[in-house]
Amino acid sequence: MSLKFRILLVEDNVDHAELTELALKQNIKGIEIDKTFTADETIAKISNSPDNNYDLMILDYSLPGKDGLAVLDSICQKKLSLPVIIVTGQGNERVAVQAMKKGAFDYIVKSPGYLMTLPVTVKKALAEKHLENKLERTEQYYQNLVECANDGIYSLDVQGRITFVNRKVEQLTGFTRRELIGRYFKDLLVEEERVKIKRWIKQVRRKHLLENLETRVLTKDGRQIPVEINLAARNNGDVISGYYGVARDISMRLQWEAERRQRNEEIRRMNEELVSKNRELERLNQIKSQFVSNVSHELRTPLNGILGYAELLRDGLYGQVNEEQVKALQNVIACGHHLLDLINEILDFSKIQDGRMRLEREVCSVYDILEAVIATVKPTIREKNLNLILSVENKLPVINVDPRKIYQVFLNIIGNSIKFTEKGEIEIGAQKHDNEILFFVRDTGIGMKEEDVNKIFGEFLQLDGSISRKYGGTGLGLSLAKHFVEMHNGKIWVKSKWREGSTFYVSLPYEKDANIESSNITNKRKGKTVTAPGFFGI
Write the DSSP assignment of 417-477 as a string of letters: HHHT-SSSEEEEEEEEETTEEEEEEEE-S----GGGGGGTTSTT--S-HHHHHHH---S-H
Rounded Cα gap, residues 352 and 362, in angstroms:
20
Task: Name residue 157's beta-bridge partners.
Answer: none
Rounded Cα gap, residues 428 and 493, in angstroms:
15
Q: Which CATH class is domain 358-530?
A: alpha beta
Q: Domain 265-351 falls in which CATH fold?
A: Helix Hairpins (1.10.287)
Q: What does the pLDDT read at residue 533?
A: 34
| Residues recorded for the chain | 538
Q: Which CATH number is associated with domain 150-249?
A: 3.30.450.20
Q: What does the pLDDT read at residue 534?
A: 32
Q: What does the pLDDT read at residue 469?
A: 47
Q: Domain 5-147 falls in which CATH fold?
A: Rossmann fold (3.40.50)
Domain regions of the chain by residue span: 5-147, 150-249, 265-351, 358-530
DSSP SS3 for 5: strand
Rounded Cα gap, residues 323 and 321, in angstroms:
7
Residues lower than pLDDT 50 in the chain: 1, 463, 465-466, 468-469, 523-538
pLDDT per residue over 143-183, tens digit each?
888 888 889 999 999 888 999 999 999 999 999 999 999 99
User: Pick from 1, 262, 236: which is nearest to 129 by CA?
Assistant: 1
Rounded Cα gap, residues 388 and 386, in angstroms:
6
* Residue 34, phi then psi, degrees to nearest 5: -105, 150
User: Pick from 402, 382, 423: which is nearest to 487 by CA?
Assistant: 402
User: Pick from 440, 457, 430, 452: which is nearest to 499 by CA?
Assistant: 452
Q: What does the pLDDT read at residue 51?
A: 56
What is the SS3 string spanning 337-366?
Answer: HHHHHHHHHHHHHHHHHHCCCCCCCEEECH
Q: What does the pLDDT read at residue 197?
A: 78
Strands, E assignment, 280-424? 362-364, 387-392, 396-397, 399-401
